[in-house]
A and B are shown apart, each in its own frame.
Chain A
Amino acid sequence: MATDSPTVDGRIRVEPDSGTMAELYTRYVPAGIRLAYLLTGDRHQAEDLAHEAFVRCVGRFQHLRAHTAFDAYLRRAIVNLHMSGLRRRRTEREWLRREGPRAAAAVTTQRDVGAREDLWEALSTLPSRQRAALVLRYYEDLSERDAAEALGCSLSALKSLVARGSDALRASLSTYAPEGDDR
Chain B
Amino acid sequence: MNDLEHDLRELFEQRASGVDAPGLAPNDVLRRGRRRQVGTVVTGVLACLVALGVAAAAIGQARHPNVIPGERNGLPARTTSIGGVPVTAPAGWTLVDDYPLAAVLGTSQQTCSFSATGAAVGANGSPVQGSPSPGEGGAAGNGASASGQSCTQESTSLDTSLPFFQLANFSLPLTRTPCKTDLNGPVTVPDDGVAVYVGLFPAGTSRGTLESSCASADLFRYGEVPGTSGAVLAAVAIEGPNATQNDHVVAEDFVDSFEPGNVTLPRPTEGAGPGYVLASGSAGDTAWRLEAGITSLGASGGSPRVGAIMVTTTASRIEARSVDLPTQHVAEDAVDLGNGSVLRFGTAAVDVAAISIDLPSGGAIPAIMFPWSAQGIPDLPNSDDSIWFALAPKRGNVRATYRSAPTGVPTATPVTGELNTKIRSGDGFVVSGHDLGHDWRLDYSGGPRLELFLDGSNEPVGSLPYLIGNETQIDVEGGTFLISLRDPTVTSFEVTTGVTEADQQPSTRIDGGWQRIQDDAGDDGRIWVVPLPGSGTGLEQANADLPSFVSWPAAPPLRIGSMLNTGNDGVVSWALTWQDDHCIILRTDGADPGDSGMSPCLHPATSSKAEVQLVDGATRSTVALAVSHRPPTAITSSDLANGALQCVDIDIESTFAGTTICVFPVADGQRVAIHLDQTGGQPIGPVIVSKDGLSTSVRGSGSATETSSAAAPSG
For chain A, the bracket of interface size reads 35 or more
**Residues of A contacting B521 with CB < 8 Å?**
83-84, 86, 128-129
Nearest neighbor of B471 in chain A, beta-carbon distance: A154
B23 touches A30 (CB 8 A): yes
Closest 7 CB pairs of A and B: A59-B36, A25-B25, A30-B21, A139-B12, A157-B469, A34-B16, A58-B33
A18 touches B34 (CB 8 A): yes
A116 touches B7 (CB 8 A): yes
**Residues of A contacting B523 with CB < 8 Å?**
129
- Known: A166-B5, A169-B8; 12 extra A-B contacts, CB below 8 A, are A16-B33, A29-B21, A30-B22, A30-B23, A56-B36, A80-B448, A83-B521, A114-B14, A116-B11, A120-B11, A134-B8, A182-B643
B38 touches A116 (CB 8 A): no
**A22 interface hit (Cβ, 8 Å):** yes
A interface with B by C-beta (< 8 Å): 14, 16, 18, 21-22, 25-26, 29-31, 33-35, 37-38, 43, 46-47, 51, 54-56, 58-62, 80, 83-84, 86-87, 90, 112, 114-116, 119-120, 123, 128-129, 134-135, 138-139, 151-154, 156-157, 159-160, 166, 169-170, 175-176, 179-183
**B24 interface hit (Cβ, 8 Å):** yes
B interface with A by C-beta (< 8 Å): 2-5, 7-19, 21-26, 29-30, 32-34, 36-41, 45, 448, 465, 467, 469-471, 520-523, 569-570, 641-644
Given contacts A128-B521, A159-B643, A182-B642, contact A22 B25 (CB under 8 A): yes
Given contacts A119-B8, A135-B12, contact A54 B522 (CB under 8 A): no
How far, in angstroms, from A55 to B24 measured CA to CA in the complex?
A: 15
How far, in angstroms, from A29 to B17 measured CA to CA in the complex?
A: 14
How far, in angstroms, from A159 to B18 measured CA to CA in the complex?
A: 29
A170 touches B18 (CB 8 A): no
**Residues of A contacting B570 with CB < 8 Å?**
183
How far, in angstroms, from A83 to B522 measured CA to CA in the complex?
A: 8
Given contacts A33-B21, A37-B15, A157-B469, contact A21 B41 (CB under 8 A): no
Nearest neighbor of A35 in chain B, beta-carbon distance: B16
B16 touches A37 (CB 8 A): yes
A157 touches B9 (CB 8 A): no
How far, in angstroms, from A115 to B18 measured CA to CA in the complex?
A: 13
How far, in angstroms, from A183 to B18 measured CA to CA in the complex?
A: 36
How far, in angstroms, from A16 to B35 measured CA to CA in the complex?
A: 9
B641 touches A180 (CB 8 A): yes
How far, in angstroms, from A46 to B40 measured CA to CA in the complex?
A: 25
**Residues of A contacting B26 with CB < 8 Å?**
51
Choice from B12, B14, B39, B469 contacting A153 with Cβ under 8 Å? B469
**Residues of A contacting B10 with CB < 8 Å?**
116
CB distance from A133 to the nearest CB of B (A): 11
Among B4, B9, B15, B18, the most chain A Cβ lie within 10 Å of the Cβ of B4
A138 touches B469 (CB 8 A): no
Among B14, B15, B642, the most chain A Cβ lie within 10 Å of the Cβ of B15
B23 touches A26 (CB 8 A): yes
CB distance from A137 to the nearest CB of B (A): 8
